A and B are shown apart, each in its own frame.
Chain A
């Protein structure tokens, strides 16, 4: 049970990072962006490319930290990938969503996002092939924390969890202590009023895509570190991300964080009583349960 609890928290932290960007876009641009999860794949693959490039350019960077798959090159690659994925999100918005936003309704945006997801997913498989990738070929062994009950934890998992929490804390600091954070929340709540109060809306939209894309990249890499980097990553995570956002309440950034942990925990704890084949159904059960109690989600505001 404790093993499932730990796995749930770990998956939850990854989902939370991915869900933050999704909830901001969903609330501010008023559409369900089904292509957001593909940004996790983009981030994971871009990191993979930069990691290999840096390793070949500076071999010393390929030295792993004790017990971790993590190398200097991977750290730099993650930072670069956050920027590239964020910019990719802005480009996708500029090429696709902005045009539809100007001339059609939110439903058209949703259908367009399905199209974007398919294009991105297939582009990745075309470029990188169907075979999953690993950031490190080295075998990392799990550390036995306890024998009875048996609890095995990889150092990579501990690293991922700590980093995810640090990133969320930094994001919390930005949101709660800086004028930029207030502007982000203001735009999410009421775009017109935020404009009246001096917020440059078009710039904020670009920044939201940049932040959402950057966080999705980190989530993708962290998922890849604990599993493998696959072009199907986005497809596998999209429903869990939506569940996290809906459970937390659309538009609530803190809700997305809590929702991510809830979905991650529930999916893994459910394995104690359900066969693993039912795991994908758990996010839907959580959505049904939470929405039957609170139709606006845990942190969503009533209209």
Chain B
């Protein structure tokens, strides 16, 4: 793949040493590409993006961002390398105001902060009027928007999203997915975990199917949609052979 942003090779990782959740996982991602990670519960989807974000212990393998191996880098240093992570839940600070959330996430104290925050309010107009409200007062969809804004305000090269539409009303979920497409069109790469497979496939360029911590199927979304296995999993709820 040309213009590769991220290359994960033979990744073995988990929460407890010696008990890996991910086993020998590979993944590749280009600039401005949207990659969906799907699979059954407990497949290791969230663990994979947590491992990339530096939140999970990596036992083996490499996570190359360009020429730099990210293994061993602290989560707070990931922003320096242009990686932002949006957790599924508890992804904003409820006790800080919306503006304070964005100021903290911007990770800089120069004069550009106000410009960056203004850009976020242009993108998420609904947050502008609530900027002095505490994060805890926002609705589920607004929280998700703020969480994405917190990731974008740091001007990342790569955004990792854990189930960005979970628990949202269908219309709001649609807005979020459309937003993910807009982000990618601006050259930011996105990896997102999604339970709603149809929604995931509708916006992704490439899809990885994980089961029991291993790669099962991967390829361009177009190819996978045409293939028999994905169709069967959709329609017949067939369990993937491992």
Interface, chain A (partner B; CB < 8 A): 179, 182-183, 185-186, 188-190, 192-201, 301
B93–A196 contact, CB under 8 A? no
> With the chains together, A185 CA to B95 CA distance in Å?
8
Interface, chain B (partner A; CB < 8 A): 53, 55, 74-76, 78-79, 84-85, 87, 90-96, 100, 103-105, 107, 109, 136, 150, 154
> With the chains together, A199 CA to B105 CA distance in Å?
9
Residues from chain A with Cβ under 8 Å of B103 in the complex: 179, 182
B156 to chain A, nearest CB (A): 11
Residues from chain A with Cβ under 8 Å of B90 in the complex: 190, 193
Residues from chain A with Cβ under 8 Å of B76 in the complex: 195-201
B93–A185 contact, CB under 8 A? yes
List 18 A–B pairs whose Cβ atoms lie within 8 Å, in order of A's numbering: A179-B104, A183-B104, A185-B95, A186-B96, A189-B93, A192-B55, A192-B75, A192-B87, A194-B93, A195-B55, A195-B75, A196-B55, A196-B84, A197-B107, A198-B104, A198-B105, A198-B154, A199-B104
Residue of B nearest to A176 (CB): B100
Residues from chain B with Cβ under 8 Å of A193 in the complex: 87, 90-93
A185-B93, A197-B105, A301-B136 known; 14 new pairs, CB 8 Å cut-off, are A186-B96, A186-B104, A189-B96, A193-B93, A195-B74, A195-B76, A196-B84, A196-B85, A197-B79, A197-B150, A198-B104, A198-B154, A199-B104, A200-B76
User: Taking chain A's interface residues, is the majority helix, strand, or loop, or is none over half, making it mixed?
Assistant: helix
> With the chains together, A189 CA to B74 CA distance in Å?
20
B87–A197 contact, CB under 8 A? no
> With the chains together, A190 CA to B93 CA distance in Å?
7
Residues from chain A with Cβ under 8 Å of B92 in the complex: 193
Known A195-B74, A199-B76; contact A182-B96, beta-carbon cutoff 8 A: yes
> With the chains together, A179 CA to B109 CA distance in Å?
8
Residues from chain B with Cβ under 8 Å of A185 in the complex: 93, 95-96
A192 to chain B, nearest CB (A): 7
Residues from chain A with Cβ under 8 Å of B154 in the complex: 198
> With the chains together, A188 CA to B104 CA distance in Å?
14
Residues from chain B with Cβ under 8 Å of A200 in the complex: 74, 76
Residues from chain A with Cβ under 8 Å of B91 in the complex: 193
Residues from chain A with Cβ under 8 Å of B53 in the complex: 196
